[in-house]
Structure 1
Amino acid sequence: MSKDTNPKEAQIKSAYADVNKYGNNREYDKAIKAVNRILGVAPDDQTALHCKVVCLVQLSKFEEAHKFIEKNRLTSLIFEKSYCEYRLNRQQQALKTIDDGIVQPLPPNLKELRTQILYRLERYEECLDSYKDIIKNTSDEYEDERRTNLSAVAANLAVDKNKDVPDVTEDTYEQYFNSACIQSNRQKYLEAERKLRTSEKLCRDFLEEEGASEEEILEELDVIRVQLAYCLQLQGKVKEASTIYAECLRHKPKDPALVAVASNNAVVINKDQNVFDSKKKIRAAMAEACEPKLTSRQKQVIALNNCLLALFTNASDQVQQLSQKLSQNYPQMEFEALLIRCSQLAKDKKHKEAIDQLQKFAALHKSHEFVTKFAIIQLQLLQGNRKDAIETLLSLGEAKYKPGIVSALVSLYLGTDNKPAASALLKSAVDWYKQNNVSSGDLSDMWRQAAEFHLRGGASETAASSLEELLKLKPNDMKVLAQLVIAYAQFNPKRALEISRKLPKLETLTTASEIDALEAANWVMSTKAAKKSASAKIEPSPSTPLVEKKSKNRKRKGKLPKNYNAEVPPDPERWLPKYERTGFRKKRGGGRTKDVIKGSQGMATGAADQYDMSNRANLSKNSPVTPVYQEPTPGPRQQHRKGGHKKKKGGRF
């Protein structure tokens, strides 16, 4: 048996063979053990050190891999070190590692990693230029992935309307998705919806061809469907969007960013309803795992919605804390945080404290002064302090002549019974617009209100100048022309006569039928009666066919008795009581019959003879000329019998 002259080299060679075998089989745990055997014999072996770093990265042990690189000072492993920092969400540090590296120019792998880091740092313009350069100078099997990433960069750039977005290809479902995101960021939600539905169909078809499971397909489709729900929500289709969010969250997606977006948007739909569900969802959106996956804009919106939810739940202390945190983390949201804080103070009836905070903010931030003063006015009006609200509006300088502000000031002046001040304001507004020739949209409503106000107040000259301005905007408005004639007639009759010639003649305004209807109408009658008579007066033309109106009330046929015979005539005495009929026979022993008078109770016999019309001899000269009125005796069918009719059980009345 030959003796091995160098057992150390043999051990290393055997260990490398194991590393190669385990690496090809993706058994990285076993590969690390084999590398450790090499390092136990040769601790400075650079190849073994590199192999161990690669194995740790493949096992997603990025923190351990980064510490191993730092400990062994592996300065040549720039890509591995920067990739670990990228995966640990240390984007600035990863970019610095690449830029400070000794490798220049950058190889393709470092260039692509640097571009991806720029994307995470939201430096989209630099990222776009870098992707364009990579696509131009590289040709391999990853070209579709690079174009997809390029379209994702373009989608984020589309948030700013002032930035140009390059045209993106639409070959794969990912590219269709990114193209839809561009459209939604440009607020073209209908077009975005169409592209997302196409992306959804392509995604399912592609994954089914690849043999993916239904769970994997749903996981990929949920990303598209949440974006679709967002587009539907902004189109006002809230119920459909809410259903999609709930369905996607029910699938428990693994992507924390997807959970955050769906939860946040569901909270927005809930508003001040279903608060318990909203609290649960906002906690899911603000989970620590979601933060590295979200853009700064998304995190900012979620933080703002968290403050608004606290405001809806009237949690005063929480509102103050969250709004302070919002303004600290996102200085651009300082004004929104202040408004939320002041809204809660107003709810707590602390109007003065809220006004003081707004006034301090307005003094420090001149760019927000205009909007802040309107918030102050709102609080002053909630206090019922109209005078202070008027002073705040007047402090806006020349902005007080804007139509909406003029209207608000006039309303406040009239509310405080200060008509002269309202009139003076309208006059100064008219003069200001004339002197400065400022065109601020459609001012017709303001001129009209000013003219009508001054006409009622007797200031005809000011009213006429307002109507002249209104006539410039609406030259064909006959109502304005008529009002102008009325205004000039009060102080300048000649001018009124000149303008009145522009009015149309009466014959052109009315037709002969309308004049006839007005003349035929009785002015004493009600409006409905006058309309009825006027419409009856107008005759149809000879060519118009006459249509008979059918009566809406249908006559019902009377019910006949069961034994009715049409051939036998009815009994003429059928309505008389039995005792008055001809064939009535008196009972035996009936007693007095002559003196019996049938009629109402209490009637005397003499009175009966007097009013018995069958005996004409009783009508003598002694009869009264005008008989005393007596109520007619009710017939036997109208008199109520004792006991009445008993109601049969289950029968009709």
Structure 2
Amino acid sequence: MAAAEATPLEAAFEKLATCVKNQQHKKALKACADILALAPGDEDALRCQVVAHMQLQEFQPALTLLNKAPLSALPLGFEKAYCLYRLGQIDEALSVVAAALAAPDLEPAAATPLLQLQAQLEYRRGHSKDCINTYDKLFQQYKADSLELKTNVLAAYVAAGLSAELPDLMAALKVKPRDSFEVAFNRSCGLVEAGQLGTAEGELRMALKTGRETLFEEDLAEEEVEDELGPLSCQLAYVLGRMGRPAEAAEIYDKLIRGTATLSDESTRALAHSNAVADAPHRLEPGPQNRKYINSATKRLEALIERPGGGKAAAAAAAAAGEEGGAGSVGALAGLLARHTPAGSLPKFVEGLESRLGAGQKLQLLLNLGLLYQVGGRADAARELVGVLAAAPGGSADPHVALLSAAVSLSQGKTVDADRTLEAFISSCGSGAPGAPPASAAVAPSLMRAQAALEAGNAAAAAALLAGVRDEAVALSGAMVATRVALYEQMNDPAGAEALLDAAVSTWKARSASDPAAASGLGWCLSCAIGLKLRLGKLEEAKQAFKQLQSSGAAATAAGAATLARLARACALADPASAPGLVGPHATAPSAATLAGLDLDALEEGAVGGRAGAGGKVGGKGPDLAAGELAAAARAKRGGDAMDVDAQPKVKKSRKKRKPRYPAGYNPEVPGGGLPAPNPERWLPKWERAEFKKKRDKRKREKDAVKGSQGAGKVDEDLDRSNAPAPSAAKAQPAKPMLPPQKKKGGKK
């Protein structure tokens, strides 16, 4: 008996099943439309239509279907929350997930994907602690044990600032970096957060090697492998930049940005653009040599942001127009963002980045764009963008926003506005108000205020600002102490420098007991304190400080030896009896053979005289290394001038000062010599200078030339030599007679 023919609805469903099996999502949408034409409102067809839209990255049509009947009444919370997540609506997605998890008839099989999505949403929202709690619930209540979940837990711990706990966590989860390159990547991120950059570089290189081996085994092409490993390469470049190897970092960034194949991960490409700017400070210096790089980098970052009213297509078109039209359109985006971005929100990024980037990453990208505006001479655009960032969530508590605002004011000569901006931010740090920045955030603005005061020539204000830094770890660090001591000496305030060094010595001494690396800082502070006390005439205190230097073990270093020599010379002048006991334990007595041919008197005076020439001006009243006093003391010990009775005084020959020879037209009394200012583009090749004019092509110059047979036109017959008459006989010259051959002189006969 022949089988009954399938109905049109059954045939449509068979066609849909074939499309789903073959991953033909566009054809599946057409099959769903055929089914709905035959059976309007069919739930199975509508659900397949939603999934097909999601597979094609068409989340808005899928969300529209989910919000309409009859799907709106079905338990499709996971699909709806995922569409909201991919559309960048994180808070709405979290609300949908929470409502779905609170359903009384929720099955455990449906709860697992909802909890995984909830953890991902909490991670994107920046709630790392909540994300970790959700993963703990998955592991403990639902017995989840996949490697992907374990990898995500490592990322959550790094984002929560718990990188120190990663080794114990990996041991508890029974995962190792060699299990997958994703695990090794998250482990390296934890090492970067912990400051172990060298170990992180090794982990990243091992992860890249493991990833290439794994992906090549899956028969992926080389370009696909490099695309999959793009995040690892970007992280390696970041680590190399932090380690002071910008050339290697720039090479990796260049491959990621200008490679033959464009990275499929838009977030990695965006971070590569931003980090390439941050790791190349020499390319941001003002000057014609960096103008092209700054313009191109600005256009690349502007292309990542959605232009208000245009979406992704408008952003791409604007970027292309910017590439062709030069610098005219660069910076116009800042004005659009200032007019159309609502207060309390960040500007939207292009599709694909809006949901992938966190709020901190978006803020950092916009800050780098503002920096490019500022160094590129677009101060107005930078100021408009700073206004948008200051009104964004967390912008007022970010010190980088305040620093950028002050930098823009300083570039426009508004020193008072810049100082007020920084002062207002510093006063808000550590105030305890909701959303106020922590006290540690005031360090960078304080340093910038001090730098601005120094550039204005106000050393006293700079010293007071540095003294007001409340972070003890920074206030008594080696660089800060050295800077403040230099400022005190510049202001002729040795007492302030002495008090600062004493406080630094106490702090570093307490630190050296638990931190072996603090011994070098303690040695430096003690050496500076000894030199300062010698200049102030406090010899006994200098001796006590040197004993502390001995106990710390820094006296055996080269700096310690120089400090000992300085202290010994001062003791030889003020307290000769204590000098041998001070130097003896550290100096080996020379042998008799070494001392046999030495003139000690000449050596002593020669050393003192050499020191007088090499040393600088010595202030203070104490027995420091003043060459004149030591020379007088040496002569007094040998009986004064009685030793030099028979010697004739040496008269120093005066050299005639050579008159300087100036170039032609140079006037030394006029600033710049009266010569015109040099061309700032003189270091550029000629074809890159503004005044260069391209020569006209020779082929174009000869394009309009008359061509044809030569001599075809009428010419002057007087110029034709063929018609010239033959010379007459009267004018012919007589022939010269033949001369007999002459003998050459000196030839052989």
Q: Which amino acid aligns with 1:179?
A: R
Q: 1:283 aligns with which of 293, 298, 302?
A: 302
> Once the 2 structures are TM-superposed, how far is the Cα of residue 465 of structure 1 from its aligned partner?
2.9
Counterpart position of 2:84: 85
> Once the 2 structures are TM-superposed, how far is the Cα of residue 521 of structure 1 from its aligned partner?
9.0
Counterpart position of 2:451: 378
Q: How does 1:516-535 map to 2 (within 5 A)?
A: 516-519=596-599
**3-state SS, counterpart of residue 350 of structure 2:** coil
Counterpart position of 1:264: 274
Matched, 1:295 2:384: no
Equivalents in 2 of 1:64, 1:354: separation in Å? Answer: 49
Q: 1:171 aligns with which of 171, 174, 179?
A: 179
Equivalents in 1 of 2:470, 2:187: separation in Å? Answer: 46
Q: How many residues align?
A: 510
Matched, 1:513 2:593: yes
Equivalents in 1 of 2:14, 2:507: separation in Å? Answer: 89
Structure 1 stretch 76-85 or stretch 280-289: which is displaced more? Answer: 280-289
> Once the 2 structures are TM-superposed, how far is the Cα of residue 87 of structure 1 from its aligned partner?
2.6
Q: Which amino acid aligns with 1:91?
A: I
Q: 1:362 aligns with which of 423, 426, 429?
A: 426
Q: How does 1:205-354 map to 2 (within 5 A)?
A: 205-249=213-257, 250=259, 251-271=261-281, 272=284, 273=290, 274-284=293-303, 286=305, 288-289=350-351, 290-329=353-392, 330-331=394-395, 334-354=398-418
> Once the 2 structures are TM-superposed, how far is the Cα of residue 391 of structure 1 from its aligned partner?
5.3
Counterpart position of 1:464: 540
**3-state SS, counterpart of residue 71 of structure 1:** coil
**3-state SS, counterpart of residue 291 of structure 1:** coil
> Once the 2 structures are TM-superposed, how far is the Cα of residue 256 of structure 1 from its aligned partner?
0.7
Query: Which TM-score applies when normalising by structure 1?
Result: 0.64
Question: CA deviation digits over 1:230-249, x for unaligned, max 9?
Answer: 33333333323322222232
Counterpart position of 2:683: none
Contact 1:196 1:228 in 2 (8 A): yes
Change in 2 beyond 3 A, CA 1:383/1:431: closer
> Once the 2 structures are TM-superposed, how far is the Cα of residue 49 of structure 1 from its aligned partner?
3.8
Equivalents in 1 of 2:414, 2:43: separation in Å? Answer: 70
Counterpart position of 1:104: 106
> Once the 2 structures are TM-superposed, how far is the Cα of residue 217 of structure 1 from its aligned partner?
2.9
Equivalents in 1 of 2:84, 2:510: separation in Å? Answer: 57
Q: Please, which runs of 5 or more residues in structure 2 have no aligned partner?
A: 285-289, 306-348, 431-438, 512-517, 556-560, 611-749
Contact 1:155 1:185 in 2 (8 A): yes
Q: Percent identity at matched positions?
A: 23
Equivalents in 1 of 2:36, 2:586: separation in Å? Answer: 111
> Once the 2 structures are TM-superposed, how far is the Cα of residue 260 of structure 1 from its aligned partner?
0.9
> Once the 2 structures are TM-superposed, how far is the Cα of residue 67 of structure 1 from its aligned partner?
1.4
* Cα root mean square deviation, aligned: 4.6
Change in 2 beyond 3 A, CA 1:450/1:501: closer
Contact 2:211 2:229 in 1 (8 A): yes
Equivalents in 2 of 1:105, 1:216: separation in Å? Answer: 39
Change in 2 beyond 3 A, CA 1:252/1:520: same
**3-state SS, counterpart of residue 120 of structure 1:** helix
> Once the 2 structures are TM-superposed, how far is the Cα of residue 430 of structure 1 from its aligned partner?
7.9
Q: Please, which runs of 5 or more residues in structure 1 have no aligned partner?
A: 531-653
Change in 2 beyond 3 A, CA 1:77/1:190: same
Change in 2 beyond 3 A, CA 1:118/1:500: same
Contact 2:87 2:355 in 1 (8 A): no
> Once the 2 structures are TM-superposed, how far is the Cα of residue 82 of structure 1 from its aligned partner?
2.0
Equivalents in 2 of 1:21, 1:409: separation in Å? Answer: 77
Equivalents in 1 of 2:362, 2:10: separation in Å? Answer: 52
Counterpart position of 1:646: none
Change in 2 beyond 3 A, CA 1:447/1:120: closer
Change in 2 beyond 3 A, CA 1:38/1:351: closer
Structure 1 stretch 254-263 or stretch 144-153: which is displaced more? Answer: 144-153
Change in 2 beyond 3 A, CA 1:349/1:119: closer
Change in 2 beyond 3 A, CA 1:397/1:278: closer
Equivalents in 2 of 1:444, 1:143: separation in Å? Answer: 53
> Once the 2 structures are TM-superposed, how far is the Cα of residue 309 of structure 1 from its aligned partner?
2.4
> Once the 2 structures are TM-superposed, how far is the Cα of residue 526 of structure 1 from its aligned partner?
8.8
> Once the 2 structures are TM-superposed, how far is the Cα of residue 188 of structure 1 from its aligned partner?
3.4
Contact 2:234 2:272 in 1 (8 A): yes
Counterpart position of 1:606: none
Change in 2 beyond 3 A, CA 1:497/1:191: closer
Contact 2:568 2:582 in 1 (8 A): no
Query: Which TM-score applies when normalising by structure 2?
Result: 0.57
Contact 1:154 1:165 in 2 (8 A): no
> Once the 2 structures are TM-superposed, how far is the Cα of residue 502 of structure 1 from its aligned partner?
5.8
Equivalents in 1 of 2:378, 2:232: separation in Å? Answer: 36
Matched, 1:65 2:141: no
Q: How does 1:599-610 map to 2 (within 5 A)?
A: none
